[in-house]
A and B are shown apart, each in its own frame.
Chain A
């Protein structure tokens, strides 16, 4: 599904990613953990095609196709979805209108007609119920005045609406209380299985109790320094990141 080879990326003179290798197969869930500033969000942005970051070396391929030349919206059309760590506000644009535009633009790119209104409505109803989102919430301006938890839940709502092939969740758990966490995780797990793949970026083991990963990777200084199974997350929780940092120094 996703194949990242020796990826180096920087902003201006600052090198942030220093040779990432990652292979994600259909149906898998990968967790990426690591201390603040280790490059997790940058990796997510680079996969999504944010132009601010310059890819210096290496490659990213989705289903065998090199992404280098593709604009962010084209990557989205191919099924990449990013749940943002810090979702932005778009005043005056309702969640519903935003979703309608996003879905229809993606359909257009695939040569499909606009989704009929009643079908859209049905989809919205289904996904908002699943994530226990109040319908009134959907008429509010996108992310404007949303609490941290509402923003994250809204990101997952969008993911559910768009049914991406590859979903990258960047610290989706931060800001969520335990009940919300359970609801959101349930939404994510619905996407799981079959062909879809998920990358979960998190600091905490807590989320991984609900979304159980097949693999866990530790990112440090823009490099994956350790990979393992879900037990690695537990170990990190117990010992912190220092021992990993020390290991890499050695």
Chain B
């Protein structure tokens, strides 16, 4: 274990959501509401080429005809989409050459988040592209990456500087009309990250992005596009925190991953949006579409630790198109108090000898509801497809719920599909055993939860694993009493 006890102690002393503060930065915010005019205005604001504007408008027209999905096992008051502002950017200079130029208050925010750029720069092997509200304000390590021909920038920049790549791939994995939230995102996405790894290149560092919602009443519509060209490798980290707000905040991101022949993408997320207070008031609505496509011999791994949000609706998926391609999904989802999570994955086997692994760990406390929903689909052409799924639920107390909805559809008899599911409860005997060894209840729960989640935590890059362990502890504080 890399974390020091001192660090843990400090974390345990913070009872309230520690990133629950609001940075007062003047913003350039659009009037509330959504129309074709707003979509055009967003596109113009970002000086996008016409094809992009058209693409957005097309998405908007799809969206207008669509209905919000009802099938997830979550209940919430639907957002009023005309009461949201669809664009907000920190008002100051949007690009900085050095830290000195950055708004001191913004820097302070980063420090409080524990991600000061200075520190990050020192943290060997991590390039940081920070999305503050909607516009990227800082990018580091660009030079090192550029030497290898790696492009890592905001999607807005990519639209300007690499239009051919964006045009070729955007919407190919998650089409505009894929679902209600994806359509909304396609119409109004404000910013996000773009990454391209050239043929045969192994990205020498973990690429990471920190997301953060800031402006009151501002929706966040991030768009991420990662392309790993033939034979390349990249590990991408995404982490986020949000300040506490009273009204619900909508987050509808789209992430598209493209792994060409023999390429590998590892995409790790530690998600910590504001979950709402103990009574279930406030909190972020997180409706995310994440999907990757694997060409021949390619591999995509999704690893996620979900501790935040009032409502989470998220199914990172793999389309195993190429023969011998591999999809993996490792997930820890924690819900406490009144949080609701409906999360899982889809593994679509199209190619021959395709393989997928699903390891899902759900932890529910308080009065929360935690659902795993997974689909394993094997097409008729997919000879010898294999899947292994394991869904474990851990319950704390009697008022929370864990639900598992595995869907299996196979059209090829050679498919081998294994599904295992367990539900356990943190027992009083386990806690007493720890207590008897001098470990208090809060710490005992953290220990048991970390043990339960170990298979997934082990999949995370080191720095992230430490962060994730801390998050698990914080998000389960006060859940047994």
Question: Hey, which bits of chain A sit against chain B, CB under 8 A?
Answer: 48-50, 52, 71-73, 76-77, 81-82, 84, 87-93, 97-98, 100-106, 108-109, 114, 141, 158, 162
Contact = CB atoms under 8 A, between A and B. Distances in A.
Nearest to B1: A97
Nearest to A72: B435
Interface string B427-460: 1111011111111110100011011111100000
B402 to A, nearest CB: 16
A81 B438 CA distance: 9
| Closest 7 A/B residue pairs (Cβ) | A92-B451, A93-B451, A72-B435, A102-B437, A76-B438, A106-B438, A92-B454
A100 B439 CA distance: 11
B435 A71 contact: yes
Contact of B435 (A76, A89, A91, A98): A76
Contact of A93 (B6, B432, B448): B448
A13 to B, nearest CB: 20
A141 B438 CA distance: 19
Contact of B450 (A81, A93, A100): A93
A100 B441 CA distance: 16
A212 B443 CA distance: 38
Nearest to B426: A90
B398 interface: no
A84 B430 CA distance: 12
Contacts of A90: 430, 433-434, 447-448, 451
Given A92-B452, A102-B437, A105-B440, 15 more contacts: A48-B436, A71-B440, A73-B435, A73-B441, A76-B435, A76-B437, A77-B438, A88-B430, A90-B451, A92-B451, A97-B447, A101-B447, A102-B434, A103-B438, A105-B437
A50 B435 CA distance: 9
A72 B447 contact: no
Contacts of B1: 97, 100
Nearest to A81: B436
Contacts of A52: 428
Interface centre among B1, B447, B454, by most chain A C-beta atoms within 10 angstroms, is B447
Contact of B439 (A48, A81, A101, A141): A101
Interface string B1-15: 100111001000000
B199 to A, nearest CB: 40
B36 to A, nearest CB: 53
A141 B437 CA distance: 16
Nearest to B429: A88
Identify the interface centre among A73, A89, A103: most chain B CB within 10 Å of its CB.
A73
Nearest to B443: A105
A49 B451 CA distance: 25
B437 A98 contact: yes
B430 A76 contact: no
Contacts of B439: 73, 101-102, 105
A87 B438 contact: no
A97 B430 CA distance: 15
A88 B295 CA distance: 47
Interface string B163-187: 0000000000000000000000000
Given A50-B432, A88-B433, A97-B1, A105 B438 contact: yes
A8 to B, nearest CB: 21
B5 A102 contact: no
Contacts of B430: 88-90
Most A CB contacts (10 A, CB to CB) among B6, B430, B441, B453 go to B430
B429 A93 contact: no
Contacts of A76: 435-438
A72 B450 CA distance: 22
Nearest to A110: B438
Contact of A84 (B433, B441, B450, B452): B433
A49 B439 CA distance: 13
Contacts of A108: 5, 9
A220 to B, nearest CB: 26
A72 B443 contact: no
B421 to A, nearest CB: 15
A98 B430 CA distance: 12
A157 to B, nearest CB: 12
A72 B436 contact: yes
A162 B436 CA distance: 11
11 contacts: A48-B436, A50-B432, A72-B435, A72-B436, A73-B436, A84-B436, A88-B433, A90-B433, A98-B447, A109-B438, A162-B437
Contacts of A72: 432, 435-436
Nearest to A161: B437
Contacts of A91: 451-452
Contacts of B438: 73, 76-77, 102-103, 105-106, 109, 162
Contacts of A106: 438
Contacts of B443: 101, 105
Nearest to A158: B437
A92 B434 CA distance: 14
A150 to B, nearest CB: 16
Contact of B433 (A87, A92, A100): A87
Interface in B1-46: 1, 4-6, 9
